[in-house]
Amino acid sequence: MTTKIAVVGAGAWGTALAITALNAGNQVVLWAFENETVHEINQSRRTSYLPAAHLPEALYATTNMKDALTDVDIILFATPAQFNRAVFEQMNPYIKEGTPVVLCAKGIELKTGMILSEVVKSINPKTKLAVLSGPGFAVELARHCPTAVTIASEDDNLAKELCQILKTDYFRPYSSTDMITPQICGALKNVMAIASGISDGCNLGDNARAALITRGLAEMARFAVMLGGKKESVSGLSGVGDLMLTANSKQSRNYSCGYEIGQAGWAKPVLERCTKTVEGVATAESVLKRAKDLKVEMPICQVVEEIIYHDKPIKEAMTDLLNRPLKTEQEG
């Protein structure tokens, strides 16, 4: 029996997941916000979000949410994090009870500091949830480059079933029952990638980047554990794997944005001309709101937030970071 999957969100990542789900032998419908995107996909088998990809003939796109979600078995929810609430409110009336919703975006809601599972549950507490996260550039996934991710759900059987349904000869999911840590790491790695890019843009050297990435992992672990996640999950694909990819490559929007900020010396001119979604920008602010409530120390996130939102000079920010009181490596 063919599994019918709806992918909500026709950006680069959502489209790459839709292609992968089709190649795994499923029936797929792709929901997009813009009529232009739907027309482009259905008529020319192309999308401006993945210009080099030729989309399969079997991929059908629509702007009609009811049409997209009717009689589907699984929903892959891939709209950008800051739009998750508004889009899920549109989705909710058409989701059949018991249909799994797989969170595929990475971020923390700016207004509330909620992680995305909390956003969805605040709208419909009965939603059956899973999370898909890990190191994956959409353009490479669309080219069938080998990719491994984590699929997590509190229901172990659901996580394993989703892995089976979505696996291909180039896409390998690993199951987990820890839904919290992949969400935290998926969001915070974008902030750490901005910090890494700033460091490289300023020519601070490989030592500095390695230190930022390693201490960034410590922040991610502290935050995840305080929200009920497992520290050991940070060493997996959705933690170390995703951070290593995002914080070391100019393919990453977050790293590239940080790199430009580092070269410019401050953030304002870079952000003013930026036309793409850079999730780490919003996350840098939203994570500090939640961290304050949890009394979790997030020094790297704090520095990135000060650079982005308060025009703090980069040299001053880095000096402040290095001059913090000395601690043991395991503190916190």
Please indicate, yes or no, whether residues 139 and 255 belong to a single structural domain of this protein: no
- Please report the pLDDT score of residue 65 as a whole number: 98
Among all chains, which residue has been given the structure tokens 């750490």?
Answer: 192
**Which residues in the chain belong to E strands, given as ranges?**
4-8, 27-31, 60-62, 74-77, 100-103, 128-133, 147-152, 171-176
Q: In this structure, are residues 125 and 118 in contact, taking their beta carbons and an 8 Å threshold?
A: no
Please indicate, yes or no, whether residues 141 and 213 belong to a single structural domain of this protein: no
Q: In this structure, are residues 305 and 284 in contact, taking their beta carbons and an 8 Å threshold?
A: yes
Please indicate, yes or no, whether residues 192 and 296 belong to a single structural domain of this protein: yes
189 among known catalytic residues: yes
Please indicate, yes or no, whether residues 58 and 161 belong to a single structural domain of this protein: yes
CATH at residue 273: 1.10.1040.10
- Please report the pLDDT score of residue 315 as a whole number: 86
- Please report the pLDDT score of residue 278 as a whole number: 87
192 in a structural domain: yes
Please indicate, yes or no, whether residues 110 and 211 belong to a single structural domain of this protein: no
Please indicate, yes or no, whether residues 226 and 140 belong to a single structural domain of this protein: no
Please indicate, yes or no, whether residues 159 and 55 belong to a single structural domain of this protein: yes
- Please report the pLDDT score of residue 260 as a whole number: 95
Please indicate, yes or no, whether residues 12 and 137 belong to a single structural domain of this protein: yes
Catalytic residue among 96, 160, 167, 189: 189
- Please report the pLDDT score of residue 332 as a whole number: 59
From 52, 44, 54, 47, select the one nearest 22 (Cα to Cα).
Answer: 54
**332 residues of the chain, pLDDT tens digit each:** 789 999 999 999 999 999 999 999 999 999 999 999 999 999 999 999 999 998 999 999 999 999 999 999 999 999 999 999 999 999 999 999 999 999 999 999 999 999 999 999 999 999 999 999 999 999 999 999 999 999 999 999 999 999 999 999 999 999 999 999 999 999 999 999 999 999 999 999 999 999 999 999 999 999 999 999 999 999 999 999 999 999 999 999 999 999 999 999 888 889 888 878 788 999 999 999 899 999 999 999 999 999 999 989 988 888 888 888 888 887 75
Please indicate, yes or no, whether residues 269 and 229 belong to a single structural domain of this protein: yes
Q: Which domain holds residue 162?
A: 4-176
Q: In this structure, are residues 28 and 59 in contact, taking their beta carbons and an 8 Å threshold?
A: yes
330 in a structural domain: no
Q: How many structural domains compose the chain? A: 2
Domain end, chosen from 149, 176, 203, is at 176
Domain end, chosen from 150, 176, 202, is at 176
Please indicate, yes or no, whether residues 223 and 119 belong to a single structural domain of this protein: no
Please indicate, yes or no, whether residues 164 and 31 belong to a single structural domain of this protein: yes
Please indicate, yes or no, whether residues 188 and 230 belong to a single structural domain of this protein: yes
Please tell me the pTM assigned to this model. 0.94
Domain end, chosen from 142, 176, 210, is at 176
Q: Which residues in 236-248 are b (16+ Cβ under 10 Å) and which e?
A: bbbbbbbbebbbb
